[in-house]
Amino acid sequence: MGRIAIVEGVRTPFVKAWTLFEDIPAQRLGAICVRELLEMTHLDPDLADEVIFGAVAQPVEASNVARVISLYAGIPKDKRAYTVSRNCASGFESITSALEKIRCGLDEIVVSGGTESMSNIPLIFGKDITKIFTRLNRAKDLAEKIKLFSQMRPHHFKPVAGIALGLTDPVCGLNMGQTAEVLAKEFGITREEQDGFSLMSHKRAISGRMKLREEIVPVMTGRDYNIVVEDDNGPRENQTIEALSRLKPYFERHTGTVTVGNSCQVTDGACAVLVMDEEKAKAMGYEPLGYIRAYSYIGLEPHKMGLGPVYAIPGVLKKAGLKLKDMDLVEINEAFAAQVLACIKALDSKKFAEENFNTSEPVGRIDIEKLNVNGGAIALGHPVGVSGSRLVLTLLKEMKRRNARFGLASLCVGGGQGGAVILER
């Protein structure tokens, strides 16, 4: 059996939540990608064995969103589909699961990817009032109903944002932004450094706009399909350091440095990639974008989840038999500027290596010129279940442009994990 190939991939534009894509449910975003992928590769839908899609917040009306996507995209009803969730690495997990399925001989052709509509994460009624409503529904007589009504209070009706709940880890009790603050303090990442990094992300995304179009399928939306979305709408053309510096810290009012400007954006989007064995791809006449050389997931303390990449990267390099300097391009998901910068510092720190990896050699230095060269989640957005797939796709496309040999993609994962994938061409 040969290597596992990523034959082709496509994604929707990444759009800020509650803007242009707010009325498109996640299953539709995913279906657009999968259908376009099938069209681009002129693959008969009959030949796709399985659809594996990553999603963090699945739509309440489309359980196992991968299945709904599969049927919407025209894949026959007798094919399989399931949805995976490894928080922010769900987009990775869909691809590595496909690899595992193919290696085990259970599938030959898999459509992987991710979909997320953060705009459509519901507002929730609190537990107390939900209980009252449920009992009301089952109440048998008027007396019981009146009793239940009398238990209602005005504060019951203030909705809770599901998205806020989702972005908070229940084990350590911190939300994602707060974990970034933990790292900012531990590694001494200044506000200026974070804002500067964010500005770079925007600048690179803007200048990379035409290149990014090569991986995007335009989406027509609006009442009469009169809005054609061809680009990500997160990147700001006129982003300035002054504008960034004016923002107040969002997660810690008085002592914080993490703002909405130097954090990833809340975003809607989807991505799909076609995964199959190298020999199968060649036999079908495809020229794959690239191949998966190695992958690795690790766990760490949830309150420092941002350091996930630092732990995952040494593992994947070892599996691949390569060094960090062998990587021609690197993508580290920009959950927060502080988090990426902390990872860069830790990877290059002798002390960190001694304390955590039992070796005096630091993992390596990441050349900033090779990192997130077309912008990252700070500018483009982080639809949480999708980003893993986007990193793989965008990395392979840029590797092709530069005729590069090896690429590294890595994510920190809410809940305390890290993931990393090495791609080769």
State yes or no: residue 225 binds another protein (CB under 8 A). yes
Question: Which of 78, 141, 224, 361: binder of another protein (CB under 8 A)?
Answer: 224
Query: What are the distances in angstroms from CA 126 to CA 131, 157, 163, 172?
Result: 9, 8, 14, 21
Could you give the angle at which helices 26-40 and 65-72 cross, rounded to 10 degrees?
50
Question: Rounded to an integer, what distance in angstroms lies between the CA atom of residue 37 and that of residue 34?
Answer: 5
In the annotation, is 382 catalytic? yes
* 35 contacts another protein (rule: CB under 8 A): yes
Residues 4-33 binding another protein (CB under 8 A) are 28, 31
Query: Site mask, another protein, residues 52-71, x = CB under 8 A?
Result: -------------------x
Q: Write out the two tokens for 267.
A: 């975003």
Q: Please identify which residue in 72, 125, 250, 352 interacts with another protein, judged by CB under 8 A.
A: 72
Nearer to another protein, 36 or 268 (CB): 36
Q: Is 271 a catalytic residue?
A: no
CA atoms within 13 A on the CB side of 310: 27
- H/E segment holding residue 396: helix 387-402
Closer residue to another protein, CB minimum distance, 1 or 284:
284
Residue 20 has which token pair?
């242009």
Q: Sign of torsion, CA 121 125 127 133?
A: negative
Distance in Å, CB of 36 to another protein, minimum:
7
Q: Tell me, yes or no, if 412 is annotated catalytic.
A: yes
Alpha helices in 46-175 (DSSP H): 65-72, 90-103, 127-138, 142-149, 162-166
Q: How far is the CB of 41 from another protein (least distance, A)?
A: 9
Q: Does 78 bind another protein (CB under 8 A)?
A: no
Query: Which residue is it, tokens 């993931």?
Result: 419
Using CB under 8 A as the binding criterion, the count of chain residues that bind another protein stands at: 22
Of 88, 264, 271, 343, the catalytic one is 88
Quick one: CA torsion of 343, 363, 90, 23, rounded to 10 degrees? 40
In the complex, the smallest distance separating the C-beta of residue 38 from another protein, rounded to whole angstroms, is 8
The binder of another protein chosen from 220, 243, 284, 368 (CB under 8 A): 220
Residues near another protein, by CB under 8 A: 28, 31, 35-36, 38-40, 42-46, 71-74, 218, 220, 224-226, 228
* Active site amino acids: 88, 382, 412
